[in-house]
Chains A and B, each alone.
Chain A
Amino acid sequence: GENVEQHPSTLSVQEGDSAVIKCTYSDSASNYFPWYKQELGKRPQLIIDIRSNVGEKKDQRIAVTLNKTAKHFSLHITETQPEDSAVYFCAARGTGRRALTFGSGTRLQVQP
């Protein structure tokens, strides 16, 4: 089955700096890669996603890049703000499946 690895597990940045979180996946036929943000005690919230036919997608300060050859995708947050502090999860949807396989999460702390 699909396996998703995520790193780093924790990331601390200064307000205004950029943050990058990376994930690798095992199923070369995976076709959908969402990113979720989860604040303490709250539900995971979809913040951006990318499909396998696209290499990059941006939404304001957030961008996701996908490298299908290397089987990795990354989340980029620019001009970080304290409210960006949360746990971020990447996920992948494998061949012929509807379920998502999640990474183990990255705890992002933005220091004011």
Chain B
Amino acid sequence: DTGVSQNPRHKITKRGQNVTFRCDPISEHNRLYWYRQTLGQGPEFLTYFQNEAQLEKSRLLSDRFSAERPKGSFSTLEIQRTEQGDSAMYLCASSTDRGRTPYEQYFGPGTRLTVT
């Protein structure tokens, strides 16, 4: 499978714990995005990387959230001191700035976080 992959697919954690998610983009894609989706809503943008540089962050991204993309390959999203309001599906997407489809974002299957 050459699509975007995410791990874990599901995560249940207790309030106050830290969690980390991983995203592996399509191999030739240099752009990577994190979105959050709650039930019945469209995805909401969190942050964007071009190669290893984090170029854009949403106001939604509180200081409890941090994302990295070392070496411009996979990315991790960490949430510290989780709250029940963090329960959501966390989606990763990737795209390339080359070729015929520089704008198209392809999504991974998501990580569903439940904070109890």
Contact = CB atoms under 8 A, between A and B. Distances in A.
B107 A101 contact: no
Interface string A71-101: 0000000000000000001010100011111
Contacts of A61: none
A46 B43 CA distance: 13
A45 B104 CA distance: 11
Nearest to A44: B107
Given A32-B103, A44-B91, A101 B41 contact: no
Interface residues of A, number: 23
A105 B103 contact: no
Contact of B45 (A42, A101, A103, A105): A101
A43 B4 CA distance: 10
Main secondary structure of the interface of A (DSSP, over half): strand
A102 interface: yes
B114 to A, nearest CB: 15
A56 B43 CA distance: 25
**Which of B41, B42, B44, B95 has the largest count of A CB atoms less than 10 A from its CB?**
B42
Contacts of A98: 31, 33, 48, 50, 55-56, 95
A104 B56 contact: no
B52 to A, nearest CB: 15
Contact of A99 (B4, B56, B91): B56
A99 B107 contact: no
Given A44-B91, A98-B31, A99-B56, A34 B104 contact: yes
Interface of B: 4, 31, 33, 40-45, 48, 50, 55-56, 58, 91, 95, 103-110
Interface of A: 6, 32, 34, 36, 42-46, 49, 51, 89, 91, 93, 97-105
**Which 7 residue pairs spanning A and B have beta carbons closest together?**
A102-B42, A99-B45, A43-B107, A32-B103, A89-B42, A44-B107, A43-B109
